[in-house]
Chains A and B, each alone.
Chain A
């Protein structure tokens, strides 16, 4: 059964140096507050896993938390490059960053396999690309038809972290709107942390929502606004101006460090 704990405690107990940690949320419900807590607790040597590393991964990488990045698209959506990610890859600053890159379809299949306990996922892809040589993929034949398909090894992070709209007091979680791979990452990971906008006495079932029973989640933390500047459908909108502004904030090292000191390091973790 999920324990309901303050976010700082959840991160302290469940995220260790050297872990493979996946913070997911496809544009929507990105767990920014949890990422900030990982930065404040100065976790190191992490393998960061995420389909679409954007601002929160730029921050984790720029603050020296990561050794390796497993991803399929790394950018500031609709804006441009991630300067901290690029600096790490192009100039080894603040640390060298090993890359393992996939396509979206490959990574989605790898998460689904992880959630299902399968050793690998199957994709009709990677043919005719240089990506196949740079990622973990093997060609196999269908045992029934002989069709050649790509096998991608299951992703099984040590810790999966997501943000959701609501949980109840038993730690059952409900989220709705764009749901990305959030269900898959929680079920694929050995341990999981779900931050939520609010803890309610009773979850109202919503058609089309994703429901994660408390017995499938390790820890739940109440963090209102925990996805900002990403958004929480039904609670607050995406702060598009911030994403545009991040391009300037993150462009040079000193400016980035100053911003992180003021907005992340010197701020307490949210209460609750």
Chain B
């Protein structure tokens, strides 16, 4: 890939790159499927080869060459250092406090990083029934810190969650397709970084609450050729478009 090609990238690619950059080499990371898995594998393929990826299917140290569609694809088991049972992964490893970073997605987030992945609308009569909690509540509670990834829209960044599936106390950053939010000392998220080409106004418009902007707002660097190349290599024959 040439430098020129690398200049063209999608908002989702920028989001994956920005999230991947935040994972330090050697981090032990509990990875959700979809965007988090993409970012964590990108980190491993670039600056953080020693990252340990743990999937809730019980695969510890998975090293997939291509992105898995599900959390239990065979490539995860075949490349893992160990495969343990589900009670063990949630017991000894997660609640045992051995994981540095939990990496989650969600349908809704509020200003304190609380997450909803259960229902849109009333619980008894939901407008949209979402998949539910999965591993998220305990991942957020027992990993050292939690990274969240979701696309920045007013419907996702809400004043009031329809359901609090997961507490936000451990969230240390929220990476979106527009920028990065981090909690201030009082726990409220503020905008700390904008992706290239994105304006503050755009980000405020995409947030349903009055989003605070950090006085030290940074401008993120665009994806480097090496990052885009590695990201695209993770999904070479993307005939399974439709994955989120």
The residue on A at minimum CB distance from B83 is A178
Q: Could you say which residues of chain B place their CB within 8 Å of the CB of A131?
A: 118, 133, 137, 165
**23 A/B residue pairs, CB under 8 Å, sorted by A:** A51-B86, A73-B135, A74-B129, A78-B70, A78-B244, A81-B129, A86-B129, A90-B127, A102-B133, A104-B56, A104-B86, A108-B86, A108-B87, A109-B91, A124-B138, A125-B141, A129-B133, A129-B167, A130-B165, A178-B59, A178-B72, A179-B83, A238-B74
Q: Could you say which residues of chain B place their CB within 8 Å of the CB of A75?
A: 130-132
**Known A80-B242, A108-B86, A108-B87; 6 more pairs at CB < 8 Å:** A27-B71, A77-B70, A77-B72, A85-B129, A86-B128, A178-B83
**Distance A123 CA – B165 CA, assembled complex (angstroms):** 16
* A129:B77 contact, CB within 8 angstroms: no
- Set B83, B94, B169: member contacting A105, Cβ < 8 A: B94
Residues of A220-247 at the interface with B, using a CB-CB cut-off of 8 Å, are 231, 233, 237-238, 240-241, 243-244, 247
* A123:B95 contact, CB within 8 angstroms: yes
**Smallest beta-carbon distance A248→chain B, Å:** 9
* B34:A125 contact, CB within 8 angstroms: no
**Distance A111 CA – B87 CA, assembled complex (angstroms):** 8
* A73:B133 contact, CB within 8 angstroms: yes
- Set A77, A125, A129, A178: member contacting B164, Cβ < 8 A: A129
- Set A28, A126, A129, A210: member contacting B72, Cβ < 8 A: A28
* A28:B74 contact, CB within 8 angstroms: yes
The residue on A at minimum CB distance from B167 is A128
Tier of interface size on chain B: 35 or more
**Distance A151 CA – B176 CA, assembled complex (angstroms):** 36
Contact A134 to B77, CB < 8 A, known contacts A71-B132, A124-B141 = no
- A residues whose Cβ falls under 8 Å from a Cβ of B: 26-28, 51-52, 71-75, 77-81, 85-86, 89-90, 101-105, 108-109, 111-112, 123-131, 134, 177-181, 183-184, 208, 210, 231, 233, 237-238, 240-241, 243-244, 247
- 9 closest cross-chain pairs (CB), A and B: A27-B72, A128-B167, A75-B131, A77-B70, A73-B134, A78-B69, A105-B90, A105-B138, A108-B87
* A208:B83 contact, CB within 8 angstroms: yes
Q: Could you say which residues of chain B place their CB within 8 Å of the CB of A79?
A: 69, 242-244
* B132:A73 contact, CB within 8 angstroms: yes
- Kindly name the residue among B70, B74, B118, B133 whose own CB sees the greatest number of chain A CB atoms within 10 A: B133
* B134:A104 contact, CB within 8 angstroms: yes
Q: Could you say which residues of chain B place their CB within 8 Å of the CB of A26?
A: 57-58, 72, 86
- Set A74, A109, A233, A241: member contacting B132, Cβ < 8 A: A74
The residue on B at minimum CB distance from A80 is B244
* A74:B131 contact, CB within 8 angstroms: yes
**Distance A75 CA – B128 CA, assembled complex (angstroms):** 13
* B57:A73 contact, CB within 8 angstroms: no
Q: Could you say which residues of chain B place their CB within 8 Å of the CB of A231?
A: 74
- Kindly name the residue among A104, A237, A240 whose own CB sees the greatest number of chain B CB atoms within 10 A: A104
Contact A104 to B70, CB < 8 A, known contacts A72-B133, A73-B132 = no
* A104:B57 contact, CB within 8 angstroms: no
**Smallest beta-carbon distance A187→chain B, Å:** 12
Q: Could you say which residues of chain A place their CB within 8 Å of the CB of B130?
A: 75, 81
The B interface, classified by DSSP as helix, strand, loop or mixed, is loop
Q: Could you say which residues of chain A place their CB within 8 Å of the CB of B129?
A: 74, 81, 85-86, 89-90
Contact A243 to B90, CB < 8 A, known contacts A28-B77, A180-B57 = no
Q: Could you say which residues of chain B place their CB within 8 Å of the CB of A109?
A: 87, 90-91
Q: Could you say which residues of chain A place their CB within 8 Å of the CB of B74?
A: 28, 177, 231, 233, 237-238
- Kindly name the residue among B34, B58, B74, B130 whose own CB sees the greatest number of chain A CB atoms within 10 A: B74
* A129:B95 contact, CB within 8 angstroms: no
Write out, one digit per residue, whether chain B residues 162-184 have a CB within 8 A of any chain A CB (1) or not (0). 01111101000000000000000
* B132:A72 contact, CB within 8 angstroms: yes
- Set B90, B136, B164: member contacting A108, Cβ < 8 A: B90
**Distance A105 CA – B133 CA, assembled complex (angstroms):** 10
**Distance A86 CA – B119 CA, assembled complex (angstroms):** 11
The residue on B at minimum CB distance from A231 is B74
Q: Could you say which residues of chain B place their CB within 8 Å of the CB of A104?
A: 56, 86, 90, 133-135, 138
**Distance A205 CA – B176 CA, assembled complex (angstroms):** 48
**Smallest beta-carbon distance A32→chain B, Å:** 15
Write out, one digit per residue, whether chain B residues 226-244 have a CB within 8 A of any chain A CB (1) or not (0). 0000000000000110111
**Distance A79 CA – B127 CA, assembled complex (angstroms):** 20
